[in-house]
Chains A and B, each alone.
Chain A
Amino acid sequence: MAVASASTASDVQNPSSLGRERDQSLNLDSLKEIGKKALIDALNSVNGAKTLVLDPTLAGPLGLVTEVSLLKHHGVDKMFWLEPGPLSSTTTNIVYLCRPLIKYVKILADQIKRHARESLKHRYTLFLVPRTSTLVSRILEEEGVLGDVTISSYNLQFIPIAEDVVSLEQDNAFKEIWVDGDETVIYNSALALDTLQKLYGPYPRIIGKGDYASRLATLLSRPLPEQPIPGEFNKPVVTAPFDSLIILDRQVDMITPLLTQLTYEGLIDELIGISNSQVELPVSLLTPPSAPNPANPASLPSTSAAAVTPVNNEKMKKHHLTAATDPLFAEFRDLNFSSVGKNLNRVAHRLDEDYKSRHQAKTPAQLRDFVGKLGGLQSEHQALRLHTGISEILVPITRTDIFNKSLEIQQNLLASYEVSKQTSAIEDLIAQGAEMQIVVRLLCLASITAGGIKAKSLESIKRDLLQAYGYNYLPLLLSLSASPLSILLPNPLPVSTAPSVAASKYPFTTLRKSLRLLIDDNPDALDEVENDISFVYSGYAPISVRLIQCIAQKNGVISNPAEKVLTDEADGKGSSKKLYAHPILGWKGFEDVLAAMPGKTFDIMQKGPGGDSSPPSISSLLRSSEQTSTTVVFFLGGCTYTEIAALRWVNRQHKGRKFLIATTGIVSGGSLIESIAGFGKKGPGSKDTSI
């Protein structure tokens, strides 16, 4: 058995790496290594055994770079969450690891003071992620414990969460920027992008859209403070150098996250919830029923201490969803959910065939062959079980009335079909007791797509909402309608509205036409051919990805390249011959579209260390024919799984360019709304938001 499981890993890896062309993309492992090394260095700087007190929001991100065993190796005796209340520690050293948030610092100060009262002697070290902060030392000073704490930093920046996605895992980035006006995330993003630049080479060109995106680009084009890269990492071999950095801020496309994601991974996020690539699932799904085959090395123990909420009286366990060890997930994650079932079926049949192949094994050699494959089959079998199980959780929810009604409202709003009827449909959803976030998402969607909701019906629907979910959501409604967010507005705007709100009006109907957002597909074709990026929303193309296509795949905006390939095939030309990606030429050809959208548009040539502002087009032209280049796409304020799926689709349409998706975090409409509601959720009355 042991032999079989040992061979499992390689067997699992092979099909996935063959399936996707990973040959020339950037190696992101060094990012992970850097994160790990920095953590070890930080822990080692405190001598002896230590108690680690961890910011709960960091557990997920840390789980992506390290394991508990590594912490134990470096002297961590016990681990606690950084939570209010007393802390008892058996070791002299107490190490706090948290983001520089005021609430954490206060908890920490409180615990130190408590120890002092009980005259317990401890040595306190505080590691702030990603860098130290004047604010923290000031608050410690105000609390009178600054002298007792040694403050240092743990520079955790981009964490690879898939082979082509890196994330800062800052879940609240959107709220902090657009609601609080706290631009710390922007600065941290600039530092993190700068580190990428130091590791993999400079970005020759920075293109983007959005006011805050432009702010980030300006920061990047100026000298940033030196950051030590821990351990002076030997630079990874850069196989595909950067050709540009595209920055989009979330406000450029607020519509996409408001919609219900319809890819497999996106739907899991919508309906079950994925945080830091981990999803909570019933234990029975994760443990193989009979064979003690450790087919899931991915199930991390790191967060096992996290709160376990018993749902349906079954124990839940976190599972790390990753394509690296789960070939089926790699295959399914970006598919429209409607075709997942069919594919599961297909895999099941294939597995069955494979198992049956043992009957054909006549000679001992054939038998040995089969036994060799067995491990792979079993792990695939387990993966199949898992994904069937997940689908079984998802399907009933997708059949509910509320889910389908909300999808219907979304589609109607996107097509601007009977807009006023949609508002009353939203009211019905409130009456039926739909989740708050679903209702608010639809409401914002209605406001953006129609340029505001009729003042009277808006008011009544807001009143309904407050009555149904609690008056403590009033600040949420105010935040949504206030500048700079302005995604919930009456139509026409009252005279007294600030000009900034009026200026941010979104020209949705024009964009729908100029960017070809809605695709009239017959639903049958959708299952078979991924015609366009719109498959991620069953017929609607996310604006953000269309904008990226405006830069990196211009013909994709105007027509379906996939269709063209199909006709080429019919003509008898080379079937698998993909076109080379055209060089990055900025927004050329789409300037008008961009000008109509609110937010700054920018296109900055970076002065490289070698050639100054010499036209990079020649070099990039040359490069594109010889070498693969990487385009970094940075989503300031987070991106959705659907956007990742759509970009991967764009990636597959041509050769010569790879996308590296960088983001402040993975978001969904629900997570955005809930983060803005923030304190409202903690309110006394709303422990249970669903009626």
Chain B
Amino acid sequence: MDGTVQHPTATWDAMPDGNVFYRRQQLYSMPGKLPDLGDYVIAGCRNGGPLALMRDTTKLIAVGRATPAFTKAQIQIYSPAGEGLLLFSWDQGKIIRYGWSFDERLVVLNEEGVYRLYDLQGDHQQFSFGAEAAELGIVDARIHENGLVALTGSLTLLEVKGWEGGRPLALAPPGLSEPPHAWAVIPPDQNISRHVEVLLSVDATILAVDNLESVDQRLSRGPFTHVSPSPNGKLLALLTFTGLLWVVSTDFQRSLAEFDTTSVGAHGIVNQVEWCGNDAILVTWDNLALLVGPSGDTLRYLYFGTTFAVTEIDGIRVISQDVCDLIQKVPASSLSVFRPGSFSPSAILFDAWESFSRRSPKADESIRSIRHDLAAAVNECIDAAGREWEPYWQRRLLSAAKFGWGFLDLYNPTDFVAMGQALKVLNAVRFFEIGIPLTYSQYNYASPSQLVTRLTSRNLHLLALRISSFLSLKPDVVLKHWASAKLAKSKSSTEEGDDEVCRLIVDKFQTLGGGDVSYADIAKRAWEVGRAGLATKLLDHETRSSDQVPLLLAMKEDKLALIKAVDSGDTDLVYHVLLHLHKRLPLGSFFRLIEDGGERLASASRLLQVYAREQNREMLRDFYYSDDRRVESAVLSLEEASRMTDPSAVTSAVKAAHKFFSEDKDRTFEAKMTDESTRLLAFQQQLEKEADGKVTFFGLSVSETIRTCLLNGMAKKADRVKADFKVPDKRFWYLKLHALTSMRDFEALDTFARSKRSPIGYEAFVRHLLEKGHSKEASAYVLRCDAPKRVDLYVDCGDWRNAGRECKERGDKARLEQLKKKCPNSLIARELDHMIASMK
């Protein structure tokens, strides 16, 4: 291989049927860099990520090996190129399982249900499953990219979604009596239901468990030693104890392939059953890896020693002690261009370009022959370029594509440019010092910005920044990480002044156009490493007050935090600060802080009142009391009174309000009113007693009390209320009118009407009686109304005869004629006629 670059097909192997090709691409050769993988428990990260290794304590170590004996568990992290990235020791309880998250953090879970997320710098975040899980203990777990599922000591399943320390959710109880033989998890994003599914091998069958139910799939072939779902979650590879490899769809409806692994003559036990992309399965033993294709065809790959395989979306990475390989199905475009004897347009185009570069006239002939398919051929060449590992072949394929499009009238080169950019980035990160062997499809799957994040987490800020600007991504992620790293490094060297570091960071942010970088995050970081001064300085540069608040709180800058929260306009943030301070400060100083804030903190003070009114009335009372807010205190008492039902409690609450009002000389009216209110309440209680508790009075208004008295035949009492509370005559008359009408006590009404001259006139009587449908009774009062209105009122009452008489008395003949026209029946009409006649 030295000097000359081997042809792409050199790595290809055809399946026995000769139609499907797989290729084994050596990514890195790394003799002597990794220890013997057989002695370790390993977790590999997808998308060309690193490996984590931990001594497998169940295995013996040969004496005299170079590896030192560890007293504590140690985890080593290697890049795929065999470079050591990180080494750290574990001081917590026994590690149950570890694995990688999507953002390349190592998730380590111990038997107490505590899990940590380590980034590649060794910084970690710790979360826990909670006390209950700790008691039961965690016996096993499966970690996928966006969460994990743990098996507790009582053989139930707990799920954690995401890596923000979310609360563990219990899945449906699987009803196990012993730990499963093997199990696996299909992550939520690969399930139709969008929720995690757990597959447990129990006895001869498989249980499919999600958060709703546990379904027995009723299989009889088990138990299984390996359960392995494909990367897209559609298929499942199962290996029985008898060595039968069985591929089924994950809904267990279709059986796809079966293969007896004992027939290959491998020695020892099966190490791994892993998927190679979504279409083949790699079964590994020590020294051997066997690729089983969809139709049960196999390819054998020999390795030295134990290997470890990491499934990728488009293949599988196999790491042995001295090489790191990628085994994958040859991508369609590569196959089309390079397959021996291929006559596809892209193959011809590539051939044409080769002829052209050799100055052979054959080029023209070839191009002509594929004229119609040229555009497709160009696209295929571009795609094939993306699939090649060697820059030499990438360049050649791209050149061929470029050559081809010269013959097209119109061609949009966007794809070509994008591919060129992608390859430039990919080649850079594949370099062994960086050691991210990312394929083109993985790059597209995981997104360029994820790649940038991965680089920054390796502290490769310059490369990350260059790639960001090359791909025109926002540089803020990189800058933020850079600044944090800068702070972390400078934490020991205190001689570097706060001003200096602050200036450095601000300069860098401004020049690199990181307008969106949050200074608050950096300031928080500074605070965490114990540089409060620097944190304050950095915080001054933050424009979003909402981001400043949490840190200010942490720094115990209480007042400033509150002011910033109020300024942000986000009431939730204000609540956040208020509730936090309420918890932390003594009540007195908490109140003082708010009261001293004056107008600036007025809205915070009001929010506190809103909260306290519903949730903490005791505090609100204290708050008003401490600030001498008598009116508010009184209103609070009244409010409480309105919520109570017990008469004595209501009365005393109203009395309390009265006391508060009377302490304020501007509130004499309110004081008088609350006094009246207590008097009324007392009187009402008395009334209830007199009515033998049959009538409810308590809490009614003055008017309602009068009405209730009248309705219940306590007219004397009504008069008493009127006198005691100085109810104006008008209101009293209306009340009595309405009450008597509703009782249909027209006799009493008449007496009442005659008792003295009505202060509301008599038209009100007529109108009200009419409204209630008592036209006959209404008509009786018309006579007492103003003369000019009487005719109309009579008409409204339907009393045509009297209306006519009224007209007659007033000598209004025209009106009488009018009435005759409108009158409802001939009987009346005749009568009216009679009247008209008599008027002559």
Contacts and interface: CB of A to CB of B under 8 A. Distances in A.
B332 to A, nearest CB: 30
Given A47-B210, A428-B730, A469-B701, A187 B607 contact: no
Contacts of B760: 431
Contact of B569 (A147, A186, A475): A186
Interface in B566-602: 569-573, 575-576, 579, 602
A455 B750 CA distance: 39
Interface stretch (B101-109, B282-290, B638-646, B784-792): B638-646
Contacts of B699: 470, 683-686
A180 B650 CA distance: 24
Given A47-B210, A433-B703, 9 more contacts: A102-B611, A123-B169, A142-B615, A427-B728, A427-B730, A431-B733, A462-B673, A475-B635, A683-B642
Interface in A460-502: 462-464, 466-472, 474-475, 478, 494, 496
A665 interface: no
Contacts, number: 169
Contact of B571 (A139, A182, A467, A496): A182
Contacts of A19: none
Interface string B166-189: 010100000000000000000000
* Residue in A184, A186, A218, A469 with the greatest tally of chain B CB atoms within 10 Å: A184
Contacts of A183: 569, 571, 603, 607
* Residue in A45, A132, A468, A494 with the greatest tally of chain B CB atoms within 10 Å: A468
B286 to A, nearest CB: 42
Contacts of B674: 471, 474
B156 to A, nearest CB: 13
Interface of B: 167, 169, 193-195, 210-212, 543-544, 546, 569-573, 575-576, 579, 602-603, 605-607, 609-611, 614-615, 631, 635, 638-639, 641-643, 645, 650, 654, 666, 669-670, 673-674, 676-677, 680, 698-704, 707, 725, 727-728, 730-731, 733-735, 738, 760, 764, 767
A467 B569 contact: no
Contact of B673 (A47, A471, A684): A471
Nearest to A181: B606
B642 A684 contact: yes
A44 B614 contact: no
Interface string A129-153: 0011111001100100001001000
A468 B569 contact: no
Nearest to A469: B701
A578 to B, nearest CB: 40
Interface residues on A, range: 35 or more
A432 interface: yes
B680 A475 contact: no
B572 A464 contact: no
B670 A478 contact: yes
Nearest to A684: B699
A5 interface: no
B707 A691 contact: yes
A206 interface: no
A135 B575 contact: yes
A430 interface: yes
Given A139-B615, A225-B546, A468 B610 contact: no
What 3 A-B pairs are tightest by C-beta distance, nearest first?
A181-B606, A685-B699, A684-B699
A258 B601 CA distance: 32
A48 B212 CA distance: 7
Given A102-B611, A181-B610, A182-B606, A684 B544 contact: no
Given A181-B603, A430-B731, A474 B673 contact: yes
Nearest to B166: A150
B725 A223 contact: no
Interface string A213-244: 00100110011010000000000000000000
Contact of A182 (B570, B607, B730, B734): B607
Given A219-B569, A472-B642, A685-B701, A431 B731 contact: yes
A684 B728 contact: no
A463 B673 contact: yes
A494 B575 CA distance: 36
B579 A691 contact: no
Given A470-B700, A686-B701, A691-B735, A475 B614 contact: no
Interface string A650-691: 000000000000000000000000000001101111101001
A108 interface: no
A467 B701 contact: yes
A468 B703 contact: yes
Contacts of B635: 475, 478
Contacts of A468: 701-703, 731
B430 to A, nearest CB: 32
Contacts of A679: 639, 642-643
A677 B522 CA distance: 48
Contacts of A123: 169, 211
A470 B670 contact: no
Given A103-B614, A474-B670, A433 B738 contact: yes
Contact of B572 (A131, A190, A472): A131
A401 interface: yes
B813 to A, nearest CB: 29
